[in-house]
Amino acid sequence: MKKAFKIIGNIILWLIVIFALLITMLVFSSSSGNGVSNLMGFIPLTVESQSMSPTFDEGDLIISRQINDINELKVDDVITFWTIIDGRKVKNTHRIVRIHQAENSVSFVTRGDNNPIDDEMPAYQADIIGKWTNIRLKGAGNIMAFLRTQLGFFLCILLPMALFFLFELYKFILTVIAVRKGETEPALDEEEIKRRAIEEYLAAQKEKEEAEKKTDEKKSDEKEKADDKESAEKKTEPAAEKTDEKEKADDKESAEKKTEPAAEKTDEKEKADGKESAEKKTEPAAEKTDEKEKADGKESAEKKTEPAAEKTDEKEKADGKESAEKKTEPAAEKTDEKEKADDKKSSRRS
């Protein structure tokens, strides 16, 4: 952690130094050329009035770019140029509204976005400082203006750089002292070297044993947890098996309960079908009996109308016929009973 703080502190110090160097370059570059700060063709400028509001306001920092070819300027560009205001030569940043072309010269009529009229004096080629790059840092111009003062330059540039170099000098002295101390320290005798080597070896062995002990304890704990888990699983298996068997028994009982009414309905249906079949078989026999009775009645009426002699003969014949029919009736009844018995056996089998 201490090493990390040390690295972070060194990074912050170097950033401060780099910033201070940049500001120093800007301040000293303004003394050369046309009197403005210029850093690789880019010119930082502080806005000193509200003439271009709301494009940018007083106290903002704007970045202009140096112009190499005057012909690239056009109407509606914002340029920075030297002009005379109240008898003083000052820098001004306004927008081009018209361009006047002459045989050997070009002039630009300018106006501030917040001004109702054009500027009194046009800007000529020799007066142009640069063209605004549309970069604006709100409020940063006040900071730049303060850094350009003697107090700001001393507090923000000279003092941090002096402290930085003193701190680096202090570190350098400590390093030199440490190196010299190492050179003057007497050489250790052979016994002392052996003693230290043994101590280091024993310390290493002790650390190794402690590491192995911790590993064994960890494995033992893991094994105990595995055994506990296995024991718990074995206890839960019989309960799960019992639950499964109970569920199977319940399902089987439920299935039997559902099939019993269906079986009863099937038996009832089979009985009804057998009964209906028996009734159908007995109906033809009953119809035959009715027909026979009708025939006997008809025959009896005919007998009454015939002569007495014929009645006697016919009576004898009828008696003989009746006797024969009586003999056949038991056989017919036995046949009907046998058919009923066969139908009943067939219904039981189904």
Are the C-beta atoms of residues 92 and 112 closer than 8 Å to each other?
no
The CATH number that applies at residue 36 is 2.10.109.10
- pLDDT given for residue 112 in this prediction: 93
CA separation for the pair 14, 83 (Å, rounded): 40
Q: Are 39 and 26 in contact (CB under 8 A)?
A: yes
Domain shared by 140 and 199, yes or no: no
Question: Based on the domain organization, do 193 and 247 belong to the same domain?
Answer: yes
Domain final residue pick, 89, 119, 147 = 147
Query: Would you write out the chain's pLDDT as a tens digit for each of its 350 residues?
Result: 667 877 887 788 778 778 777 777 766 655 455 567 777 888 888 898 899 989 999 989 899 998 888 888 999 999 999 998 888 888 899 999 999 988 788 999 999 999 999 998 999 988 899 999 999 988 888 887 787 788 887 887 788 888 888 888 888 898 888 888 765 545 556 777 888 888 888 999 889 889 888 888 888 888 888 888 888 888 776 666 777 777 888 888 777 776 665 556 666 666 666 666 656 655 554 455 566 666 665 655 555 544 444 554 565 666 656 655 555 555 555 666 666 666 666 656 54
Question: Residue 187 in 3-state DSSP?
Answer: coil
pTM more than 0.95: no
- Same domain assignment for residues 193 and 143: no
The pair of structure tokens assigned to 149 is 């003062």
Distance CA 141, CA 52 (A): 15
Q: Give the pLDDT confidence of 189-210 residue by residue, as tens digits.
A: 677 788 888 888 899 988 988 9
CA dist., res. 342 & res. 334, Å (int):
12
Q: Is the peptide bond before 54 cis (omega within 30 degrees of 0)?
A: yes
Q: Kindly state whether residue 216 falls inside one of the protein's structural domains.
A: yes
In a domain, 52, yes or no: yes
Domain count, the chain: 2
Q: Of 234, 264, 284, which one is at a domain's C-terminal end?
A: 284
Does residue 126 lie within any of the structural domains? yes
Domain match, 130 and 214 both:
no
Is the residue at 95 inside a domain? yes
Which two three-digit tokens encode residue 269?
A: 């249906």
Which residue bears the tokens 């070297």?
A: 193
Statement to judge: residues 135 and 195 lie in one domain: no
Say whether both 125 and 64 belong to one domain.
Answer: yes
Last residue of a domain, which of 147, 169, 197?
A: 147
**What is the reported pLDDT for 75?**
93
Full residue range of the structural domain in which residue 111 is found: 31-147
In a domain, 230, yes or no: yes
Q: Are residues 46 and 137 both part of a single domain?
A: yes
Give residue for tokens 């094994």: 223
Tell me, yes or no, whether 39 and 131 share the same domain. Answer: yes
137 and 38 assigned to the same domain: yes
Radius of gyration of the chain (CA): 65
* Cα–Cα distance measured from residue 19 to residue 161, given in angstroms and rounded to the nearest whole number: 10
Q: What are the tokens at 106?
A: 């070009």
38-56 in b/e form (b: 16+ CB < 10 A) is beeeebbbbbeeebbeebb
41: in domain: yes
CA distance 141 to 45: 7
Both 139 and 239 in a single domain? no
* Residue 170 covered by a domain: no
Helix (H, G, I), strand (E, B) or coil at 65: strand
Q: Are residues 126 and 37 in the same domain?
A: yes
Asked if residue 129 is part of any domain, the answer here is yes
If you average pLDDT over every residue of the chain, what do you get? Answer: 76
130 and 37 within one domain? yes
At residue 178, the pLDDT reads: 84
